[in-house]
Chains A and B, each alone.
Chain A
């Protein structure tokens, strides 16, 4: 646990000195303008909830995705990967701690979206179910960290996989229903969306922002948590297997 917390704090310190880590957070207000201008121009203020929530989810995904791809790579670049692996702390725990630091920071995008909507469009999006909304955000953050751990495990296994890092954004924004609910997608695609935690998170968060009862909140939170936990376990397996292999072959520097 201490390794996780140390990695978490270390990542927050890194973020202060690296502009790239703030990239997605800086663009969240612009995405809010894009989505709100679309729904406002169309005369559909009822869709403001979709427009305000989407930039936050996009930022969360993008930030975690880019960090998961960079974290081991940058350690190798700075020559600290070998000493890190030689310490008693698990590499996986360190990676998860660092990703969690970024994930926590990117949750600030929720605040940015709401403030942008208020200041630039005069729109206030109420939160009729504040406690459920808060819990859903925390569980979504957990699921994001778990999913990013899978990506970290995959990205580091093959260098060509890094080529795809930049490509895992919009396909998942569609499958995750970040602005358009997955129920509106073609039927054949819906089973695929259900293994993407974002689709559950986006639907649940939208429901917490509308009046009326939220259906099956515990079950839906449980599914988001479970998908995140499965991701975290797969990520652990991938990173542990990779370490076993490079230790046996003595090729850590080539990771």
Chain B
């Protein structure tokens, strides 16, 4: 019960953080505009190729990439906790710091969902992406599962950046561009050598994207379900790795006394 209470407060804290970054106007005219331009940028490459099919492929892929990009911001927001000087206090509190660190970046989940959904609907409509009903309705829960599972990847990135705060932006940016490169966002995963494919299939975004593409292509429910299960399993794996990494950080910090007050 205490765990849920701590997690809830941590999540509330994350939304407070977020509201200090953006007003609604700044979010819509600044951030959302950038997201729409990002997906449009890649959609236009499809136009350059002279292929409507490629254009639609690029739109769907980059919608999911936007969601992953936002989730990777956990790398930076985890470091903010260290900068605010609260880590030593959290480590000496009766509850586990892990719970706080897992909740304090949760604001990125609805942000990612809103950004990706907005890009899907707006850029998709502009470029004539087929959105067959009722299949298209499945895109949104699949997108949510993809984002929630990719949040696990973000938590792992955060568990690395909290050890090396100056690398927080570096880590998230590299993770995002690599995801864009290999996760089937712009070209199918099988375009790449098998080693790269293995790396790609370790990401929930790769499987989530396959599930979304399958739904839009009218594939059988069992095909979609297979991709969905793979999304959840890989995501669970990243959550476990992130938890282990945070616990190791906690243990090492206690042993070496390496935490500082801001």
Measuring CB to CB, which residues of chain A are less than 8 angstroms from any residue of chain B? 18-20, 22-23, 26-27, 30-31, 33-35, 37-42, 44, 47, 50, 160, 163-164, 166-171, 173-174, 179-181, 184-185
Contacts and interface: CB of A to CB of B under 8 A. Distances in A.
Contacts of B170: 19-20, 22-23, 26
Given A26-B170, A169-B37, A171-B37, 5 more contacts: A20-B170, A34-B181, A42-B54, A171-B33, A174-B37
Contacts, number: 100
Contact of B38 (A18, A30, A44, A170): A170
Contacts of A173: 37, 41
Contacts of A168: 34
Interface residues on B, range: 35 or more
Contact of A169 (B22, B34, B48): B34
A43 to B, nearest CB: 9
Contact of B191 (A31, A41, A184): A41
B21 interface: yes
Interface string B23-61: 100100111011001101100110111010010001000
A242 B37 CA distance: 31
Nearest to A50: B48
Contacts of A42: 49, 51, 54
A28 to B, nearest CB: 10
B46 to A, nearest CB: 9
B48 A179 contact: yes
Nearest to B166: A19
B40 to A, nearest CB: 6
Given A33-B181, A173-B41, A166 B191 contact: no
B125 to A, nearest CB: 15
A20 B79 CA distance: 15
B173 interface: yes
B245 interface: no
Contact of A47 (B22, B48, B174): B48
Given A20-B169, A50-B48, A167-B30, A38 B37 contact: no
B41 A174 contact: yes
A160 B20 CA distance: 11
B180 interface: yes
Interface in B174-233: 174, 177-178, 180-181, 186-188, 191-192
